Amino acid sequence: MSGGSLAAVERWVEQPLRRFVEDARLRRTLLLHPSGQVVAQQGFARSVDVMSACALAAGIRASAGELGRMLDGRPFGELFHAGDGRQLYLADVATPRGPYVLLAVFDAESSLGLVRLYFAELAEHLAAAAPAPVAEPQVLPSGFEQELNRNLAVLFGRA
Amino acid sequence: MTIVNYATREITCKIVYYGPGRSGKTTNLHYVYEQVPDGRKGRMVSLATQTDRTLFFDFLPLDLGSISGFTTRFQLYTVPGQVYYKTTRRLVLQGADGVVFVADSQARQLDENVESLQDLHANLAEHGVDPRTVPLVLQYNKQDLPREMILPAQELDDALNFRGVPYFAADALHGRGVFETLRAISELVLRRLSSPAMAGR
């Protein structure tokens, strides 16, 4: 049984990822941009924890990629970290919207073989589900600065 | 690359503090971390050496609260400043929505500041980003040091600020200029989201 519900910034990843989480019996899952920005998460309680985990996952992926390039000119496509009771799988997913990074945490209820098996399926499903990029509408109205300044002042105890 | 979740009305932005070694990038983040209440920040992650020099990056997630109905979060990163960490800096810079360049005001560090600024431009260009388009704020840190050791902010500005971006004199150790710098870069980054020409980035 997987732990925690799934939340996604980009809706098109939800269905393939939810299926992957169930099939591979994951405890925690992150889908992120290589820059460290979260696309979807499952199993984390706080949004700030998700951001930290994404930053670290992007860092691991980036440094291992550079190491691979140094060794033979090719980045590592997937990484596995063994732990005491929980394990971690990190892999690149190529989609028409660009590369994404998957981080999967699993325990004794799953195995690396199972995760890799279903990951191959996930990569296919994500590549098929990815919509073409579209221009989004303007997000913030002009004049947002006053609200930003007020929020920052509160944050720094200056309000 | 700013992430906008229209379904949950959330905005997430990545801001990178850049600059030469020991200019005060990590000090900026430490000051922010100490000022912000627990409920509005995550754990500060520092991948550092045993002597506290930044090895890969420092990372601090902040919750700015609601702006125009969007829950707005900032991810603050620093890069290691030493020349030999160029690859690491390029990796951390990937997808940055805005950059704070923290310059060391000490007169003897001027060349390092110039070199680091050139390095920033080179790394942005390697990511296919036009350095002239990235929201940028300059901070002239260590202005609290004795006058004979430092260059005045205006002189540093003449040497470094050829884009004419906002700049701030700072003493990050005691907090002077830290808030103002963060406010300025936040405004520049979010302004891109209020400009129809930049929408969809």
* R_g of chain A computed on alpha carbons: 18
Q: Which residues does chain B have within 8 Å of residue A56's beta carbon, measured at their own beta carbons?
A: 45, 59
User: What is the per-residue pLDDT for A3?
Assistant: 64
ipTM above threshold 0.85 = no
The Cα–Cα gap between B18 and A93 comes to 29
Which band of pLDDT confidence, cut at 50, 70 and 90, is reported for residue B197?
Answer: low
Determine, for residues B43 and A158 on separate chains, whether the beta-carbon distance falls below 8 Å: no
Instruction: State whether residue A146 sits within 8 Å of chain B by CB.
Output: no
φ and ψ of B123, to 5 deg: -70, -40
Cβ neighbors of B147 (< 8 A, separation 6 or more) are: none
φ and ψ of B75, to 5 deg: -110, 115
> Encoding tokens for residue B76?
């603050």
> What is the set of domains in chain B, with CATH numbers?
3-198 (3.40.50.300)
Share of chain B above pLDDT 70, in %: 97
User: What is the per-residue pLDDT for B199?
Assistant: 43
Q: Which tens digit of pLDDT belongs to each residue from B71-107?
A: 999 999 999 988 888 888 999 999 999 999 999 999 9
Which residues of chain A are modeled with pLDDT < 70? 1-3, 136-137
The Cα–Cα gap between B44 and B42 comes to 6
CA atoms within 13 A on the CB side of B87: 9
Which band of pLDDT confidence, cut at 50, 70 and 90, is reported for residue B56?
Answer: confident
- Residue in the structure block whose two tokens are 């890799």: A116
**Residue A103 bridge partners (DSSP):** A30, A90
Residue B45 host element (H or E): strand B45-48
| Interface-testing mutation among B179, B180, B192, B198, with chain A (most A C-beta atoms within 10 A) | B179
Q: Which tens digit of pLDDT belongs to each residue from B169-181?
A: 999 999 999 999 9
DSSP state of B1: -
Closest Cβ–Cβ partner in A35, A39, A48 for B61: A48
> What is the set of domains in chain A, with CATH numbers?
6-133 (3.30.450.30)
